[in-house]
Structure 1
Amino acid sequence: MRTSAIEAPAVDLELDARLAEVIAERRRRAARFSQPYVQLWDAIADIVMRGKKLRPRLLLDGYHAFGGQLDAVALDAACAIELLHVALVIHDDVIDSDDVRRGELNITGRFSADAVARGALRTRAQNWGEASSLLAGDLMLTAAHSLIAQLDVDDETRRSVLEIFDEALFVSAAGEHADVWLSMHIDDASSYDVLAMMEHKTAAYSFQAPLLLAAALAGVDINVHERLADIGTHLGVIYQLRDDVLGVFGDEETIGKSTLSDLREGKETLLIAFARAHQRWNDVAEVFGAPHLTVADSERLREIIVASGALDLVEALIADRCDRVHELIADTKLPEHLRSRLTALATYCRTRRS
């Protein structure tokens, strides 16, 4: 179940098979209801099976590096963390009013487009699509918690993994809530505010939780957990900072979304927090977050972001965080395989292009 290349991990047949089994069982249950409900599970299956599986692979790598032996237990925990990711992604698209994910229609887009094709008014069709997404996200959350609750472990371990899982979702929700608040631009956001949001929204469930779950399931001493949490925080911030850069300066075909989206949404990133300090920001402030942002306006925004030094500052921060996490990893007594895996993961988070 181990992978050596972060950029193009080998297909993990066991992980994919178990995920497919979890979704297929629920799809069979859905057959008792309406055809659109079955179609909803088909759409969920597409999302689940198409993902990079970064989080579950990190959990499995950590678990085996720590000497864990209960492969079926670790596999279900890995599936749970992936379903949690899918749930948060689906809900995030609704929050951001996105109909596309990685170049393809998401659940909202699929169901609303189908409704329009059948003659529904666009407003009603959009409501149908968003309702379908919200319910799909809810279903993934309950499926994830069900897998965690039913792990074949002793009561103490079960309580521990449930607490880790619950905390990951709790903190991630706080980060998502803060992200929406910051994007309203009611208060001036500091770089500290934005970094805290990143740590909560991305790092908690994407990197901290997989590592902590791996340690808890393998019976690793609790003293190791704090260091794993620190490493996970840095990895999450690096990952999100790169994501924010790609969202404005990335290649649209590679990242699978428009590079106008974050600027049109008015997403408060460190790029923007730093660029606001530039004397020319007032020239473009009115178009940032404009619903009908044009390509020309987006180019003006990019020009100011670069001229302000914001892009260079963020790139420097990514490099600094990467150096710091490499030092943290090297300074631990973690198993050699896990240290190698985490070091490669940090480099991937820093240099990824999609």
Structure 2
Amino acid sequence: MTPTAEMTDSSAPSAQSVSPACDLHSIDSSTTDLELVEEVLAGHFRRHATILQQVGPELTPAIDVVSARIGGGKRLRASFCLWGARGAADGRTVPGIVEMAAAIELFHLAALVHDDVMDDSDVRRGLPTVHRHFADDHARAQRRGDAERHGTAVAILVGDMCLSWSDDLAAAAADDVTPDVRRAVRDTWSTMRDEAYGGQYLDMLSQTEETTDADRTARILRYKSARYTIGQPLRLGGTLAGAPADLLEAYDRIGLTAGEAFQLRDDILGVFGDEKVTGKPAIDDLREGKRTMLIAAAEESAGRMERRVMADCLGNPELDADGAARMREVLHSTGAVERVEQRIVDLAEEALGIVAGAPMDSHSRCALTALIERCVWRRA
């Protein structure tokens, strides 16, 4: 594969070693499905917004905040879900799959709203985070009570609403399938949620400790990101389509390999990304003290002075641009960036090999190949 414009500036030259694959335009055949996902999301939200509006006009600010955030995004999880179904159905559209893909995106929106509260992030996708929006609005209006607590409370409520709405859509997606398929879909949906919650808890726990636990970091990567972003969306789509066991097993393997590569790219973007492209400050992960594979790789090779820089900067809520620059230097000088980039290349090769041998039609195989490339070499 030749890296595309999705590649970051920090990508390793060895990325050229990945085999040629489909161009990114090959995913365009899912455009109609993704447009339908947007329509389902918008219609589902409108129905709930109407009920909220009937409660009283005071709900309008909350409705507006969700409305501004429910559209857009990369829709990677929805795309993997859609192609997971098509891959199991010889490229055909599967009834209920659009609703399932939309449900995953609503669940993800809920997770982002809550994650921003936990990480105390101020910006998401170029907009103020939900808790920051309502805290600032509270302060501007000079209302009674603590503005920060109010913003947090509203964000928790907004996230809960999106979470419950996602469950409604997931249930609707399996309305017209056999009882056995319905149970399998619901089991997969439930497992996806529990794994994401568990991974998030481990992530929060890791930020309370002075050093990186390599085993825990690997489990965070697997459950909070790899399976949640790629593996479970593929499996949900495949299960809804009645996929055979060997294809579901391939989807799981694709999820673990491509999903890890996705998160490793995310870790690099979290420190080296362009805020104008990512929509999130590249200093947040350092301030929060996220114990990523990138940090673990740096700790393994860091000398005394490099460890001192990491101790001073990582997890420091007052970290400034100069401190962040020192951390970036350490990540390069220890070889952490180079090793993580090489790991991404190796994982991408493995994932693409699994896709090449998976029992699916050529069109779905080409689309999944392009989606994996998009995940691995993206800039946001």
Q: TM-score, normalised to structure 1's length?
A: 0.93
1:178 positional shift: 0.8
State the distance in 2 between where 1:71 and 1:39 align: 37
1:30 positional shift: 0.2
Please tell me whether residue 42 in structure 1 is matched to residue 68 in structure 2: no
State the distance in 2 between where 1:294 and 1:99 align: 15
Please tell me whether residue 163 in structure 1 is matched to residue 193 in structure 2: no
Q: 1:54 to 1:27 in 2, by over 3 A?
A: same
What residue is the counterpart of 1:309 in the other structure? Answer: 335
State the distance in 2 between where 1:9 and 1:223 align: 24
Question: Is the Cα contact below 8 Å between 1:6 and 1:348 reproduced in 2?
Answer: no
What residue is the counterpart of 1:339 in the other structure? Answer: 365
Spell out, residue by residue over 1:33-54, the C-alpha distance to the aligned partner (whole angstroms, 9 max, x if none).
Answer: 2434232122112211122222
Matches within 5 A, 1:43-58: 43-58=65-80
Of 59-68 and 332-341, the range deviating more from structure 2: 59-68
Question: Is the Cα contact below 8 Å between 2:107 and 2:163 reproduced in 1?
Answer: yes
Matches within 5 A, 1:200-211: 200-211=223-234
Matches within 5 A, 1:16-95: 16-67=38-89, 71-95=94-118
State the distance in 2 between where 1:111 and 1:129 align: 5
Spell out, residue by residue over 1:313-334, the C-alpha distance to the aligned partner (whole angstroms, 9 max, x if none).
Answer: 1101111111111111112222
Of 219-228 and 80-89, the range deviating more from structure 2: 219-228
* Poorly superposed stretches of 4+, deviation over 6 Å: none
State the distance in 1 between where 2:376 and 2:244 align: 30
Question: Is the Cα contact below 8 Å between 1:23 and 1:41 reproduced in 2?
Answer: no
Please tell me whether residue 282 in structure 1 is matched to residue 307 in structure 2: yes
1:160 positional shift: 0.8
Q: 1:251 aligns with which of 258, 267, 274?
A: 274
Of 136-145 and 278-287, the range deviating more from structure 2: 278-287
1:72 positional shift: 4.7
Q: Which runs of 5+ in 2 are unaligned?
A: 1-23
State the distance in 1 between where 2:231 and 2:74 align: 17
Q: 1:112 aligns with which of 127, 135, 138?
A: 135
Question: Is the Cα contact below 8 Å between 1:174 and 1:200 reproduced in 2?
Answer: yes
What residue is the counterpart of 2:204 in the other structure? Answer: 180
State the distance in 1 between where 2:319 and 2:204 align: 19
Please tell me whether residue 127 in structure 1 is matched to residue 149 in structure 2: yes
Q: 1:130 to 1:9 in 2, by over 3 A?
A: farther
Larger relative contact order (C-alpha < 8 A, sep ≥ 6)? 2
Q: TM-score, normalised to structure 2's length?
A: 0.87
Q: Which runs of 5+ in 1 are unaligned?
A: none
What residue is the counterpart of 1:138 in the other structure? Answer: 160
- Letter of the 1:266 counterpart: G
Two-structure CA RMSD over aligned residues (Å): 2.1
Question: Is the Cα contact below 8 Å between 2:87 and 2:238 reproduced in 1?
Answer: no
State the distance in 2 between where 1:212 and 1:93 align: 27
State the distance in 2 between where 1:136 and 1:319 align: 38
State the distance in 2 between where 1:301 and 1:95 align: 23
Matches within 5 A, 1:236-275: 236-275=259-298
Question: Is the Cα contact below 8 Å between 1:27 and 1:42 reproduced in 2?
Answer: no
- Letter of the 2:40 counterpart: R
1:71 positional shift: 4.7
Question: Is the Cα contact below 8 Å between 2:78 and 2:101 reproduced in 1?
Answer: yes
1:292 positional shift: 0.6
Q: 1:96 to 1:118 in 2, by over 3 A?
A: same
1:242 positional shift: 0.5
Query: Aligned to 2:146, what secondary structure does the other structure show?
Result: helix
